[in-house]
Amino acid sequence: MQRSHFEIATMTIRRFLIFAPILLIIVLLQSYFWVPTYDEQTKGNPERLNEYITGSIGDASLLNPILTADSASSSIENMVFEGLIDRDEQLRFRGRLATSWEVFEEAYFYVNPSADIPRLGRADPETLVDFIKKAKQKNQTKNRELKDSLGFITDIFVLPPKTSWVTKPFKDPTTGKQKNINIRIRAPARIKLILNRVDPDFFQNLSLLLGKNYFESFNGKTYLMSDSEMEKVKLESYAGELLPAIEHNPVLLFHLRPGVRFHDGHLFDAYDVKFTYESIMNPKNLSPRIADYEPVKSVTVINPLTVKIVYKRLYSPAMGTWGMGILPEHLLNHNALKEEAHRLGKDSNTFSMRQSRFNRHPVGCGPFRFQEWKSDQYIILNRFDGYWEGPPNYNKYVFRVIPDRLTQEMEFYAGTIDGYDVQPHQVKRLEKDQRFQSFSGTAFGYTYIGYNIRRKPFDDPRVRRALGMAIDVDKIIDYVLYGQGERITGPFVKQTDYYNHNIEPVPYDPQGALTLLAAAGWKPDKQGWLTKDGNKFQFTLITNNGNDLRKAILAIAQDAWKQIGMDVHTDLLEWSVFIQERVNKADFDALILGWQMGIDPDLYQIWHSSQTNPYQLNFVSFKNKEADDLIIKIRQEYNHNRQVRYCHRLHEIIAKEQPYTFLYVGKWTAVLDKRIVIKTIDDAGNIRYEKIKPTKTGNYSFYFNKWIKLPEAPGFMLEG
């Protein structure tokens, strides 16, 4: 019986993976006999017990948390830098550089002199404030929502009228030229309310007291003036921006940890937090993090240990964004970069943080400090003895670049690296190996094929769907992943309720794919190649080298597409070239990649149409108006059920548009030597060893700073 190209490809891959251990031994004997075993290492170097060495298929790109988004860089940055907060084992926020915080809201609305208030009529600002205060004090309202919203008010006062001028851009309709409009704002009195929590429904509920049209009937245009009659037409479009009837301003007030020092000895304070935010927002730095911080209205230093962050609108993911590693202001501020530019003989006006030496020699206030980086070989970090939580048990953290998975496996067995991400074909064997402790779970993320929608024919959703229909994803899971994966249909973490389980995967249907392609104008020529307007359906699929799973998918996808008449070329690129030259610059036709996701459903950076520029994360250039609106709603929604509803609809849109062929979410397994344990010392100096246990999300390295490797595994590690 004649086998399909897919079967031949998968059989070849599977045979390769089955015989990998034999090949590994041959490689070990022929080429790597010089690699010392763990015991040999420790005999001549007892310090090896105090070093943790990890292997990575790719090198870091930069070591600056506001500039990078790749996993290799992030793994190092998480050791060197510290954020204000992170999440504990139960996924609750916990303090790091911040000891505590307050979350509240400053809400505003303009007094509407033309509105009649029930039981009050038209009211001046002071009377209006008194009316709201009395309603709060009487606490007699029958409406529970209004009662709750009034109960959240801790203070209320009047802001007096004020006059100001602003300049806004304006396109002259007669000449088509861009000019500026000078607008005078004669703002009426405004009411400011302090709420002890963020209340997204506050104004909706307050309208039950002031009248349902009180806020809607406020006409900001009447308070705007311009000298030119022609330009007055534009005033209405600026009214909502310059004089919004209502305004929600959520506030985070962080109290910072005293006495924390950066690795160079400089004290950390609130000015570093403010500087980090400003660096992200500085367009010269091309930070991929801008979308997370654009909703911020202001960052104010109250004192060196208190920072106030005010948001210009509702933004439910706000808290989580402050897990970002904080930069040292004294090393990267304007004067420091100017001096560095002069030393390097570069123009200080164009020199940015992206060009700074800091990115290869980072200074943070995390548990490890940077020592050395040799490109495509290793990065070495040393324990920071001045770490505020106490220094880690390991003296050294070594990140080695080992692009070949077989070599990584061989080095793990020899003990020259301490941890290993098990490949699917090895799971059952290594889970039973008594030398190791293993950890497994379903990944928070997914693998996909992404299409560059800027380029034809990928701008047609019928073509994108057809490309997905031509690939048998179930066979990829069975034969390449050895069952260590599940189908996925959209962009949310599958273990959360944000994921829409009602959406069916794209079916494997090559004939249906050809029907869709024919509807899009692609029909086979005499040689069987799909053509349209005399052009062959031809493109290149790329991914990074060193990842055998992606390499296998590359071959399978290429073969599947050739079966239906597409001329597909493939290319494997070294990781840093792949990310910096192709992904960041959107220079590709189609690519295979994966996302590591967080719990929060905010997908703005990856899917919003504003995030399609170089160095941003919507590099496939997906654009959809309804999707944009839903992404904003998800960001501004604090009600979980409504947020889930928006997520399900967004999932539905993306699944229909197919900017990605969503492949699978993998099941991961990692192994460590059983001699690696958690070591703690109590106040009396007694040492205690504990097994490493993963958190709810499967994060087994949560207590990494307390890990240590012992000469022999303690008794409890030898059980079962």
Q: So what's the pLDDT on residue 157?
A: 94
pLDDT tens profile 530-562:
999 999 999 999 999 988 899 999 999 999 999
pLDDT tens profile 140-198:
667 889 999 999 999 999 999 999 998 887 777 677 788 787 889 999 999 999 999 99
Q: Which residues of 673-695 are buried (b: 16+ CB within 10 A; e: fewer)?
A: bbbbbbbeeeeeeeeeeeebeee
Structure-token match 């308070």, residue found: 223
Please give the Cα distance from 480 to 467 (Å, whole number). Answer: 20
Helix axes 640-657 and 625-636, enclosed angle (nearest 10): 160
Q: So what's the pLDDT on residue 229?
A: 57
pLDDT level of residue 45 (50, 70, 90 thresholds):
low
CB 645 within 8 A of CB 633: no
3-state class (DSSP) for residue 523: strand
Q: Which of 155, 400, 198 is nearest to 309 (CA)?
A: 198
CB 120 within 8 A of CB 114: no
Tokens encoding 190: 């405004």
* 621 torsion bin: left (phi>0), alpha (psi -120 to 50), beta (else): left
CB 664 within 8 A of CB 549: no
pLDDT tens profile 201-250:
999 999 999 998 999 999 988 899 887 655 666 677 788 888 999 999 99
One-letter amino acid identity for 359? N
Q: So what's the pLDDT on residue 695?
A: 85
Alpha carbons within 13 angstroms on the beta-carbon side of residue 654 total 31
3-state class (DSSP) for residue 639: coil
3-state SS track over 87-139: ECCCCCEEECCEEEEEEEEEEEEECCCCCCECCCECCCHHHHHHHHHHHHHHC
* Residue 250, Cβ density class (10 Å: 0-12 exposed, 13-18 middle, ≥19 buried): buried
**Residues across the chain:** 720
Which uninterrupted H or E stretch holds 419?
A: strand 419-421
CB 438 within 8 A of CB 693: no
Number of C-beta neighbours around residue 341 at 10 A: 18
Residue 261 DSSP one-character state: B
* Rg of the chain over all Cα atoms, to the nearest angstrom: 29
653 compared with 26, residue with greater pLDDT: 653
Q: So what's the pLDDT on residue 209?
A: 93
Q: So what's the pLDDT on residue 143?
A: 87
pLDDT at 497 over 70: yes
pLDDT tens profile 363-420:
999 999 999 999 999 999 999 999 999 999 999 999 999 988 889 989 998 889 998 8
Please give the Cα distance from 45 to 706 (Å, whole number). Answer: 22
DSSP labels, 650-675:
HHHHHHHH-SEEEEEEEEEEEEEETT
DSSP labels, 227-249:
S-HHHHHHHHHHHHHHS-SEEEE
Provide mean pLDDT across the span 45-52: 86
Mean pLDDT (the chain, rounded): 89
Tokens encoding 705: 């700073």
Provide mean pLDDT across the span 46-64: 92
Tokens encoding 481: 């992943």
Q: How far is CA 127 from CA 117, 180, 345, in A?
A: 11, 39, 65
CB 201 within 8 A of CB 213: no
pLDDT level of residue 29 (50, 70, 90 thresholds):
very low
Domains of the chain, earliest start first: 5-80+367-440+671-718 (3.40.190.10), 103-250 (no CATH), 445-668 (3.10.105.10)
Q: Which of 390, 573, 602 is nearest to 492 (CA)?
A: 602
Please give the Cα distance from 290 to 520 (Å, whole number). Answer: 37
Provide mean pLDDT across the span 10-15: 46
One-letter amino acid identity for 292? D
Q: So what's the pLDDT on residue 717?
A: 44
pLDDT level of residue 525 (50, 70, 90 thresholds):
very high
Strand partners, 383: 368
Strand partners, 185: 164, 224
Q: pTM of the full predicted structure?
A: 0.79
Q: Which of 330, 315, 151, 326 is nearest to 254 (CA)?
A: 326
pLDDT level of residue 28 (50, 70, 90 thresholds):
very low
Structure-token match 């794919």, residue found: 513
Q: How far is CA 692 from CA 212, 697, 706, in A?
A: 57, 14, 10
* Residue 339, Cβ density class (10 Å: 0-12 exposed, 13-18 middle, ≥19 buried): exposed
- Residues ≥6 apart with Cβ < 8 Å to 470: 508, 510, 513, 560, 561, 563, 564
Which uninterrupted H or E stretch holds 442?
A: strand 436-442
pLDDT tens profile 86-137:
999 888 999 999 999 999 999 999 999 989 999 899 999 999 999 999 999 8
- Residues ≥6 apart with Cβ < 8 Å to 296: 277, 281, 309, 310, 311, 312
Which uninterrupted H or E stretch holds 307?
A: strand 306-311
Q: So what's the pLDDT on residue 40?
A: 55
- Residues ≥6 apart with Cβ < 8 Å to 522: 457, 463, 530, 531, 532, 537
CA-based angle 272:276:278, to the nearest 5? 115
